[in-house]
Structure 1
Amino acid sequence: MNKPMQPPTCNRRQLLALAAGAAAAGPLAARAQTGFATRPVKVVVPFAAGGATDVITRVLGEHMGKRFGQPVVVDNKPGGAGLIAGEMVVKSPPDGMTVLLGTTSSMLTNKYLYKKPPYDPLADLTPLVRVCLAPIALVVTNDVPAQNLQEFMAWLRANKGKLSYGSYGIGSHGQLACTTLSDVAGADMAHVAYKGEAPMIQDLLGGQIKIGMGSLLSIKAHIDSGRLRALAVTGPRRVPLLPDVPTFAEGGFKQEALALVGWLAIAGPKGMSADVARQWAQAANQAVASREGMARIIAAGFVPVDDDTPESFGRLWAQEGPIWGRLLQAAGVQPN
């Protein structure tokens, strides 16, 4: 007759090992249960594939996908000054599976540039995290007799009513910054608004205009070649791509339009939970801090941000909105 099987026994050492294993597995199991990414995550970008924002998004997406345990898919939705991409995200469920990686314009200033925008970014999006700052630079052609900001302002004063400057569009940060400089100098400069940076830079190089404001990536090669001269950058600190170019503040100009700096950031639909928002911020910070993330962001002319939180970004967003609105109004920009 067969004897009944006895349950296996464990000695004290084996029991301790089992207990330790259970304790270690606990947090992992909890993370698996609370993680929001149950399928590929979509990041909507309001620009065409191949541009700086798109490339940065794809690099960060590779790192964030590893943290989420799901692929991060970049969905390019250009057009409408970023409104098409923003509206797509606004209408998505607030489960963290669809977010927007956009600019200050698509997430903030469009509110003041259009009479009836399809959404209000401050009310209809959840701020998650900034990934980098996007300063712009004041550049002049070589025949401008100014080697620094002080000489430039003196030149403006001496040529009141005779000068014009270019920007990459009505309501752009470039327009607001140059309007401020013109007002400070009493120069009465005329604004030439271009449809993007490429035609503006072409006219700078061709001598049709002598002054412009542009993104660092677009003007870097022309600065290096000696065809354009950078005099100052916006924002609170110097930029890694142009370390020898001072900020406007260093030159003694601390007006709001010159102190402000645009950004690239991630936002989700209204109603996202604090836990999901925190997971996005942690993943983005880690991706930006990676060697490849840092390198790509700096090479594109931006300043990496790898320590942001939904709370700090939300406060900044709420504070900066009215400032941009006030500057646009002061510059005479009328909503379309």
Structure 2
Amino acid sequence: MRIKTLSVVLALAFGSAAVGQAHAQEYPTRPITFIVPAPAGGAVDAVARLFANEMSRQMGQPVVIENKPGAGGILALQATARAAPDGYTVLVTHSSPIINTPHLYASVPYDVRRDFAFVSQLCVGNLVLAVGADVPARDVKGLLAWANTNKGKVSYGSYGQGTYAHLVGAYLSRNRNLDMAHVPYKGEAPMAQDIAGGALTWGVASLVALRPYLDSGKVRPLAVMGNVRAKSLPDVPTMAEAGFTEPEFTPAGWIGMLAPAKTPQPVLARLEKEARAAAQSAAVKTRLATYSLEPVGSAAAQFRREFETTEPVVARLIQSSGAKAD
């Protein structure tokens, strides 16, 4: 009887493994959806579309984009967490919805560690602090001095509540008693447009969103976030070089891929493999360079470690900035 029971257990185990392998071999058999917590026109959307095109070519199935902006990324992450865990719904996101947002809202309808599987960090890049051309400041210290003499009239934008752009603005406003108004947007593109049009004083955004306005002279870059200058803006200093050495200004922006937590491991492995291959493809590398982004294509475990390392640092920034979801 015990031998028979053991045989049944082994049969079930091997049967499950065979099913998993078969699933991985068959996957994908239909289109895959990338959910993006931003509207069209910003860095996350551009990168999602770039990887969608390359991974579609690699996997032989269409990859479509579903933009779900708003609520600090909550809508997109909630939709992904509730999706069938079958590999056909994937999240492509910047760091804020998975790291920042849970610390800014009293509650969110997802738990990153419980509800998501890390697939790969796709790329990293600089974020730029920029002002409209009509703003007289030529550097960050000049911007803050101008804001000090125009209290109540200066506004800064962000691509959503709790994003890094929001935290930087809140930190500068609070710690220097500048009373600058926060204006949240559903994404980078409309924020950059308002900076260029003069409806917004300044903001922090990616070069993808700012590039058309930098090229036309409607927006002026004052500093870049992170520890190194942007390759495409060699004359623009880092925040540290501009005299702001606080660790709050050192993070660089990144974009990564996650899936619902219960997605079968063979499917996750396939997604990881294809995402990593796409990141190293000539087509993706060339296009990312035009966005001033560097390809990464990390292993899932490495991406998870990056999250675990960064999350407490951002939590401290949120506390010191006093930022809250409005």
TM over 0.5: yes
Q: Is the 8 A contact 2:197 2:218 kept in 1?
A: no
Partner AA of 2:294 in structure 1: P
SS for the counterpart of 2:279 is: helix
SS for the counterpart of 1:242 is: coil
Aligned with residue 29 of structure 2, among 27, 36, 39: 39
Match of 1:60 in 2: 51
Q: Matched residues in 1 for 2:242 and 2:47: separation?
A: 31
Unaligned runs of 5+ in 2: 1-20
Q: Matched residues in 1 for 2:218 and 2:23: separation?
A: 57
Structure-2 change in CA distance of 1:283 and 1:250 (3 Å): farther
- Number of residue pairs aligned between Structure 1 and Structure 2: 302
Among all aligned residue pairs of Structure 1 and Structure 2, give the percentage whose two residues are the same amino acid. Answer: 27
Q: Matched residues in 2 for 1:220 and 1:55: separation?
A: 13
Partner AA of 1:104 in structure 2: S
Give the alignment's TM-score, normalised by structure 1: 0.74
Q: Matched residues in 1 for 2:264 and 2:23: separation?
A: 15
Partner AA of 1:314 in structure 2: R
Q: Matched residues in 1 for 2:22 and 2:57: separation?
A: 13
Q: Is the 8 A contact 2:39 2:67 kept in 1?
A: no
Match of 2:316 in 1: 326
Q: Matched residues in 2 for 1:139 and 1:38: separation?
A: 42
- More relative contact order in 1 or in 2 (CA 8 Å, sep 6+)? 2
Structure-2 change in CA distance of 1:256 and 1:127 (3 Å): farther
Structure-2 change in CA distance of 1:229 and 1:40 (3 Å): same
Structure-2 change in CA distance of 1:91 and 1:211 (3 Å): closer
Partner AA of 1:284 in structure 2: A
Q: How does 1:235-274 map to 2 (within 5 A)?
A: 235-272=226-263
Structure-2 change in CA distance of 1:247 and 1:43 (3 Å): farther
Q: Does 1:234 align with 2:225?
A: yes
Partner AA of 1:223 in structure 2: L
Aligned with residue 302 of structure 2, among 301, 312, 317: 312
Q: Is the 8 A contact 2:132 2:197 kept in 1?
A: no
Q: Is the 8 A contact 1:128 1:266 kept in 2?
A: yes
SS for the counterpart of 2:100 is: helix
Match of 2:110 in 1: 119
Q: Is the 8 A contact 2:80 2:91 kept in 1?
A: yes
Range with bigger deviation, 123-132 or 200-209: 200-209
Find the structure with the greater CA-based Rg.
1
Moved over 6 A (4+): none
Offset at 1:88? 3.3
Give the alignment's TM-score, normalised by structure 2: 0.76
Unaligned runs of 5+ in 1: 1-30
Aligned with residue 68 of structure 2, among 65, 78, 87: 78
Q: Is the 8 A contact 2:213 2:219 kept in 1?
A: yes
Structure-2 change in CA distance of 1:233 and 1:205 (3 Å): same
Range with bigger deviation, 191-200 or 263-272: 191-200
Partner AA of 1:289 in structure 2: Q
Q: Matched residues in 1 for 2:152 and 2:24: separation?
A: 63
Partner AA of 1:176 in structure 2: L
Partner AA of 2:276 in structure 1: N
Q: Is the 8 A contact 2:118 2:259 kept in 1?
A: yes
Q: Is the 8 A contact 1:139 1:213 kept in 2?
A: yes
Offset at 1:55? 4.5
Offset at 1:160? 8.0
Aligned with residue 214 of structure 2, among 223, 228, 249: 223
Q: Matched residues in 1 for 2:95 and 2:112: separation?
A: 10
C-alpha distance after superposition, 1:248-295 (max 9, x if no partner): 233343323311233221011224566654443332122122232123
Q: Is the 8 A contact 1:236 1:247 kept in 2?
A: yes
Q: Matched residues in 2 for 1:179 and 1:54: separation?
A: 25
Q: Is the 8 A contact 1:297 1:303 kept in 2?
A: yes
